[in-house]
Structure 1
Amino acid sequence: MTRKFLLLMCCVIASTTTSFSQKTTKPNIILIMVDDMGYSDIGSYGSEIKTPTLDKLAAEGIRFKEFYNNSICAPTRASLMTGQYPHRAGIGYFDINLGLPPYQGYLNKESLTLAEVLKQNGYSTLMSGKWHLGKDSLCWPNQRGFDKFYGFIPGASNFFDIGDYGQAPPVILVKNNQKEKLKPGEYLTDKITDNAIGFLKEQQKENKPFFLYVAFNAPHWPLQALPEDIAKYKGRYDIGWDSLRAERLKRQKELGILSDNQHIAVRDKDVPLWANLTYDQKHLWKSKMEVYAAMIDRVDQSITRILSTLKELKKDDNTLIVFISDNGAQGGFSNSNRKPQRNTGPIGTPGSYDYQEQNWAYVSNTPHRQYKNNMHEGGISSPFIAWYPKLIKAGTIVQGTAHLIDLAPTFYALAGATYPQKFNGITTNNLVGKSLLPVLNGTATVTPREEPIFWERAGNRAVRKGKWKIVSTYPAYAWELYDLETDRGETTDVAGKFPDVVNDLSAQYFKWAERTGVVDYEKIKPTQPMVIPGQ
Structure 2
Amino acid sequence: MVVSPLLFLQISTFTFLLLSGFSSVFAQKKTVPETRPNIILIMVDDLGYSDIGAYGSEIKTPNLDQLASEGIRFREFYNNSICAPTRASLITGQYPHKAGVGYFNVNLGLPPYQGYLNKESLTFGEVLRGAGYSTLLSGKWHVGDDSLAWPNQRGFDRFYGFIGGASNYFDIGQYGQAPPVPLVENNKRTTLPKDKYLTDEIADHAISFLDEQSKTSKPFFLYLSFNAPHWPLQALPEDIAKYKGRYSVGWDSLRAERIRRQKALGISDPNQAIAVRDNQVPLWDNVPYDEKKLWEAKMEIYAAMVDRVDQNIGKLLEKLKALKKDDNTLIVFISDNGAQGGYSGSSGRKPPRNTGPIGTAGSYGYQDQSWAYVSNTPHAYYKNNMHEGGISAPFIAWFPKQIKANSIVKGTGHLIDLAPTFYELANAKYPATWNGTNIHVLPGKSLVPVLTGKSEQVGREEPIFWERAGNRAVRKGKWKIVSTYPSYKWELYDLEKDRGETTDLAASRTDIVNELSADYVRWADKTGVVDYDKIKPANPIGDPVPRQANGMRRDIP
TM-score after normalising by structure 2 = 0.92
The answer to whether 1:492 aligns with 2:499 is: no
Cα offsets for 1:92-143 (capped at 9, x unmatched): 0000000000000000011000010000000000000000011000000000
Q: Name the CA distance, whole Å, in 1 between partners of 2:377 and 2:419.
A: 28
How many Å apart are 1:428 and its aligned residue? 0.6
Counterpart contact for 1:479–1:502, Cα < 8 Å: yes
The answer to whether 1:510 aligns with 2:521 is: yes
Counterpart contact for 2:178–2:361, Cα < 8 Å: no
Q: Name the CA distance, whole Å, in 2 between partners of 1:501 and 1:201.
A: 53
The amino acid across from 1:128 in the alignment is: S
The equivalent position to 2:532 in structure 1, one of 499, 521, 526, is 521
Q: Name the CA distance, whole Å, in 1 between partners of 2:477 and 2:22.
A: 51
Q: Name the CA distance, whole Å, in 1 between partners of 2:512 and 2:341.
A: 30
In the alignment, what sits opposite 1:243?
253
In the alignment, what sits opposite 2:222?
212
In the alignment, what sits opposite 1:417?
428
SS at match of 2:153: helix
The answer to whether 1:391 aligns with 2:413 is: no
SS at match of 2:246: coil
SS at match of 1:386: strand
Q: Name the CA distance, whole Å, in 2 between partners of 1:325 and 1:381.
A: 9
The aligned runs of 1:42-441 (5 Å cut-off) are 42-163=52-173, 168-333=178-343, 342-441=353-452
The amino acid across from 2:472 in the alignment is: R
Q: Name the CA distance, whole Å, in 1 between partners of 2:82 and 2:365.
A: 19
Runs of 5+ consecutive residues of structure 1 not aligned to the other structure: none
How many Å apart are 1:342 and its aligned residue? 2.3
Structure 1 residues 476, 313: CA separation in 2 closer, same or farther (over 3 Å shift)? same
The amino acid across from 2:498 in the alignment is: D
Sequence identity percentage: 72
How many Å apart are 1:8 and its aligned residue? 10
Structure 1 residues 483, 13: CA separation in 2 closer, same or farther (over 3 Å shift)? farther
Q: Name the CA distance, whole Å, in 2 between partners of 1:59 and 1:143.
A: 37
The equivalent position to 1:445 in structure 2, one of 456, 461, 465, is 456
Counterpart contact for 2:116–2:149, Cα < 8 Å: yes
SS at match of 2:462: coil
Provide the alpha-carbon RMSD of the alignment. 2.1
SS at match of 1:408: helix
How many Å apart are 1:340 and its aligned residue? 8.9
SS at match of 1:399: strand
Q: Name the CA distance, whole Å, in 2 between partners of 1:490 and 1:531.
A: 22
SS at match of 2:247: coil
SS at match of 1:107: coil
How many Å apart are 1:422 and its aligned residue? 1.0
Cα offsets for 1:178-233 (capped at 9, x unmatched): 11111221100000011000000000111110000000000000000000000000
How many Å apart are 1:511 and its aligned residue? 0.3
Counterpart contact for 2:478–2:496, Cα < 8 Å: yes
The amino acid across from 2:231 in the alignment is: W
Runs of 5+ consecutive residues of structure 2 not aligned to the other structure: 1-9, 544-554
Q: Name the CA distance, whole Å, in 2 between partners of 1:144 and 1:233.
A: 40
In the alignment, what sits opposite 1:38?
48
The amino acid across from 1:312 in the alignment is: A
The amino acid across from 1:233 in the alignment is: Y
Cα offsets for 1:310-355 (capped at 9, x unmatched): 111110110000000000000002989xx99722221111121001
Residues matched between the structures, number: 532
How many Å apart are 1:493 and its aligned residue? 0.3
Q: Name the CA distance, whole Å, in 1 between partners of 2:309 and 2:324.
A: 23
The amino acid across from 1:116 in the alignment is: E
Q: Name the CA distance, whole Å, in 2 between partners of 1:418 and 1:179.
A: 34
SS at match of 1:455: strand
In the alignment, what sits opposite 1:455?
466
Q: Name the CA distance, whole Å, in 2 between partners of 1:501 and 1:249.
A: 30
Counterpart contact for 1:334–1:358, Cα < 8 Å: no
How many Å apart are 1:265 and its aligned residue? 0.2
Q: Name the CA distance, whole Å, in 2 between partners of 1:276 and 1:18.
A: 72
Structure 1 residues 224, 401: CA separation in 2 closer, same or farther (over 3 Å shift)? same
Counterpart contact for 1:95–1:135, Cα < 8 Å: yes
The amino acid across from 2:48 in the alignment is: G
Counterpart contact for 1:165–1:344, Cα < 8 Å: no
In the alignment, what sits opposite 1:29?
39
Q: Name the CA distance, whole Å, in 1 between partners of 2:344 and 2:460.
A: 39
The answer to whether 1:464 aligns with 2:475 is: yes
Q: Name the CA distance, whole Å, in 2 between partners of 1:496 and 1:11.
A: 75
Counterpart contact for 1:334–1:359, Cα < 8 Å: no
Q: Name the CA distance, whole Å, in 2 between partners of 1:175 and 1:197.
A: 14
Counterpart contact for 2:34–2:217, Cα < 8 Å: yes
Q: Name the CA distance, whole Å, in 2 between partners of 1:124 and 1:90.
A: 26
The amino acid across from 1:150 in the alignment is: Y
SS at match of 2:357: coil
Structure 1 residues 369, 96: CA separation in 2 closer, same or farther (over 3 Å shift)? same
The amino acid across from 1:209 in the alignment is: P
Counterpart contact for 1:118–1:417, Cα < 8 Å: yes
The amino acid across from 2:107 in the alignment is: N
Structure 1 residues 79, 282: CA separation in 2 closer, same or farther (over 3 Å shift)? same
Q: Name the CA distance, whole Å, in 2 between partners of 1:66 and 1:268.
A: 22
How many Å apart are 1:534 and its aligned residue? 4.5
Structure 1 residues 390, 488: CA separation in 2 closer, same or farther (over 3 Å shift)? same
The amino acid across from 1:250 in the alignment is: R
The amino acid across from 1:344 in the alignment is: T
